């Protein structure tokens, strides 16, 4: 017991102070993209042609963050002249259309489902469904339970049964084999319920977009309330989304 107390004293308080204080992620982290509207059309078209996700609109000067896998190819190619990635990890939106951006996002709390705040704002139970994800999105959700992020201190928990859940959190491109299980899980969550799409796969099909074995976005199966982009989204992106959607 004394050893435990000694260790605790030596280690101090390890839980992150986010969101009270800001966190700076390392320089190599790719967060909210910024599109330079002054860049030449030729450079923009070069980036669009190189994008493996067909996520860049060269003439519209936007990136579709729902498709982007944050590989950095475009930024390297144009040396930041057309697209550069900031370290801003607050990327989520309440509408799919808002993920198509030149670098600005609407405030996440600004959505039509304000009643979710009074219903779930202080106690939110989530059921995670991995619908053929590669496990990176899932791991970065899992890490929210560790002492650093300590998701439970906000009244948010992952639960084992959809019948105990207020929301489902879907990851992966939703393979044909997982579709029925996902729909049954959705049905088992009592109304009113929240649907959260985490990662490029769940939002748009990700790297599997266009495959007959997967679904090109969760919205094709059910109404989605919250979109969290990334491949995978950083745990702080998930945390910011959970805290701010229910603000």
Phi first, then psi, for residue 168 (nearest 5°) are -110, 140
Q: Is 70 in the site for ligand SF4 (CB under 6 A)?
A: yes
Query: Which residues inside 202-241 make contact with ligand SF4, applying CB under 6 A?
Result: 206-207, 231-232
User: Is 78 one of the binding residues for ligand SF4 (CB under 6 A)?
Assistant: no
Contacts with ligand SF4 by CB under 6 A: the residue count is: 26
Among 31, 43, 46, 53, indicate the residue that binds ligand SF4 (CB under 6 A): 53
CB-based contacts of 100, cutoff 8 Å, min separation 6: 57, 62, 63, 64, 65, 66
Q: Which of 43, 44, 74, 129 binds ligand SF4 (CB under 6 A)?
A: 74
Site string for ligand SF4, 119-138 (x = CB under 6 A): --------------xx-xx-
Least CB distance from residue 109 to ligand SF4, whole Å? 25
CB of 167 to ligand SF4, least distance (A): 18
Residue 43: both structure tokens together: 């450079």
Nearer to ligand SF4, 154 or 234 (CB): 234
Q: 63 pairs with which residues across the strands? A: 56, 101
At residue 145, φ and ψ (nearest 5 deg) are -85, -5
Q: Sign (positive/negative) of CA torsion 197, 202, 206, 207?
A: positive
Check: CB of residue 156 under 8 Å from CB of residue 189. Answer: no
Cβ atoms of residues 199 and 229 within 8 Å? yes
Measured from the CB of residue 216, what is the shortest distance to ligand SF4 in angstroms? 13
Return the exposure string of 114-138: e unless at least 16 CB atoms fall within 10 Å of the residue's CB, then b: eebeebbbeebbbbbbbbbbbeebb
What does the alpha-carbon distance between residue 55 and residue 3 come to, in Å, rounded to a whole number? 54
Given candidates 35, 43, 68, 239, which one binds ligand SF4 under the rule CB under 6 A?
A: 68
Choose which of 25, 39, 71, 105 interacts with ligand SF4 (CB under 6 A): 71
In the region spanning residues 150 to 209, those forming contacts with ligand SF4, defined by CB under 6 A, are 171-172, 199-201, 206-207
CB closer to ligand SF4 out of 69 and 167? 69
Judged by beta carbon, residue 68 or residue 218, the one nearer ligand SF4 is 68
Site for ligand SF4 contains 60 (CB under 6 A): no
CA atoms within 13 A on the CB side of 99: 24
The contact set with ligand SF4 (CB under 6 A) reads: 51-53, 55-56, 63, 68-74, 133-134, 136-137, 171-172, 199-201, 206-207, 231-232
């Amino acid at each position: 017991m004394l050893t435990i107390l000694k260790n605790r004293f030596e280690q101090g308080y390890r839980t992150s102070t986010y969101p009270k204080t800001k966190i700076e992620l390392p320089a190599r982290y790719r967060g909210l993209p910024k599109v330079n509207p002054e860049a030449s059309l030729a450079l923009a078209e070069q980036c669009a042609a190189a994008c493996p996700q067909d996520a860049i609109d060269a003439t519209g000067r936007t990136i579709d963050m729902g498709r982007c896998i944050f590989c950095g190819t475009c930024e390297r190619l144009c040396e930041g002249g057309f697209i550069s990635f900031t370290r801003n990890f607050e990327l989520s939106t309440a509408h799919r259309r808002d993920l198509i951006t030149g670098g600005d996002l609407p405030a996440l709390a600004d959505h039509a489902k304000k009643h979710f705040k009074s219903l779930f704002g202080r106690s939110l139970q989530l059921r995670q469904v991995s619908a053929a994800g590669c496990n990176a999105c899932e791991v970065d959700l899992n890490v929210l339970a560790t002492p650093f992020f300590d998701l439970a201190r906000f009244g948010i928990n992952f639960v084992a049964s959809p019948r105990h859940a207020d929301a489902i959190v879907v990851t992966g491109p939703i393979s044909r084999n997982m579709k029925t299980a996902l729909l049954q899980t959705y049905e088992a969550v009592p109304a009113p319920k929240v649907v959260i799409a985490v990662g490029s796969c769940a939002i748009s099909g990700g790297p599997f977009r266009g495959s007959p074995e997967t679904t090109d976005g969760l919205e094709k199966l059910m109404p989605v309330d919250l979109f969290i982009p990334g491949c995978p989204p950083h745990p702080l992106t998930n945390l910011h989304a959970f805290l701010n959607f229910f603000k």
